[in-house]
Amino acid sequence: MNAYVVTVATLVAIQSIVACGLNVVVGYAGQISLGHAAFFGIGAYASALLTTKAGLTFWTALPLVIAITGLVGLLLGIPSLRVRDDFLAITTIGINFIVEAVFLYVPFFGGALGIGGIPRVTFFHVKMKGLPYLYLCLAFLALVLLVCRWFTRSWAGLACFALREDETAAASMGISPVRFKLLAFVLGTAMAGLGGALYAHFMRFISAGDFSFPVSVMLLSMVVLGGMGTLWGPTLGAVILVSLPELFRPLLEIRFLIYTLLLLLMIRFQPGGLLGEASLVRRVFSRLMPGKEAPR
């Protein structure tokens, strides 16, 4: 594999991790979020600061990074207890702008210059770059997918699904809306934190613009495109949305036009996402391999 392909693949793996986290919030618990990039950024900045300023290694910083992001996710998840749907979407957009502004204007976070000189991840004294780093990201992605799979089969996952379907009915079944919305926010933002840390040590230079509102839109597009609430959907969405702009690179300006058109077509014809219920992919799969369940 040449370096370019490895770079794109690494970004796909990182974005998949972050999109999986968003899927926990949006797909499993039904809480719309258009500010997920904020948590991606919090993870990246936390890891960057802990390794450059506090002198920790990636591995010792990682548990802290995940804890910090999850904790901030818990605090910023509180609005979701009071507002719903469009209002929650707007609130989460606001969170994204505030977090980005903090990174941009507070000198501690490097201001407009961002943070540079972020060390590479070392693994048994070997500096990881290129292919080994891709494998590391894929290993973390596998871990995230396992956690998602476990979550969807747990009682907590069932409680989140019930909340997504009908909050009132769920509450009268003894499911606490507060507890499970916040649980989904913590789990989802912690995954974003992990993705952020991997991103920081891959790029080795980060600035506030990397985690701006359009990134949140892109992440939500990945989840919607792949199929909200499915296991593999966010990863598939990340593969498509990260690699398509690369494939269309020769088309220069109009590549985003094509990209937008694809999204619109998806919304019109496959609202459940590529791996959603009764989607084209699932129907083709069941025709090709009768009796076998398509991946979800």
Closest residue by Cα to residue 76 from 192, 173, 169 = 192
Rule CB under 8 A: is residue 154 a binding residue for other proteins?
no
* C-alpha dihedral (37, 38, 41, 42), degrees to nearest 10: -140
Beta bridge partners of 122: 127
Q: How far apart are CA 14 and CA 16, in angstroms?
A: 5
Reduced to 3 states (helix: H, G, I; strand: E, B; else coil), residue 94 is helix
Size of the site for other proteins (CB under 8 A): 18
Out of 145, 171, 262, 263, name the contact with other proteins by CB under 8 A: 171
Which residue matches tokens 């009132």? 168
Out of 63, 82, 124, 172, name the contact with other proteins by CB under 8 A: 172
Rule CB under 8 A: is residue 166 a binding residue for other proteins?
yes
Out of 13, 25, 72, 162, name the contact with other proteins by CB under 8 A: 162
Both structure tokens of 52: 């450059």
Closest distance between other proteins and the C-beta of residue 22, in Å?
Answer: 19
Region of 65-73, 117-125, 154-162, 212-220 interacting with other proteins (CB under 8 A): 154-162
Closest distance between other proteins and the C-beta of residue 290, in Å?
Answer: 17
**Closest to other proteins by CB, 119 or 177:** 177
| 167 contacts: CB under 8 Å, gap ≥ 6 | 177
**Closest to other proteins by CB, 174 or 291:** 174
Out of 88, 159, 191, 222, name the contact with other proteins by CB under 8 A: 159
Region of 2-10, 165-173, 181-189, 251-259 interacting with other proteins (CB under 8 A): 165-173
By residue count, the chain amounts to: 296
Rule CB under 8 A: is residue 292 a binding residue for other proteins?
no
**Closest to other proteins by CB, 85 or 166:** 166
3-state helix, strand, coil in the chain (%, to 5): 75, 0, 25
Site for other proteins, residues 224 to 283, rule: CB under 8 A: 277
CB 197 within 8 A of CB 46: yes
Closest distance between other proteins and the C-beta of residue 177, in Å?
Answer: 7
Distance in angstroms between the alpha carbons of the first and the last residue of the chain? 29
Reduced to 3 states (helix: H, G, I; strand: E, B; else coil), residue 115 is strand
Out of 18, 121, 144, 175, name the contact with other proteins by CB under 8 A: 175
205 CB-contact burial (10 Å; exposed 0-12 / middle 13-18 / buried 19+)? middle
**Closest to other proteins by CB, 30 or 114:** 30
Can you give the binding site for other proteins, defined by CB under 8 A? 155, 158-159, 161-162, 165-166, 168-177, 277
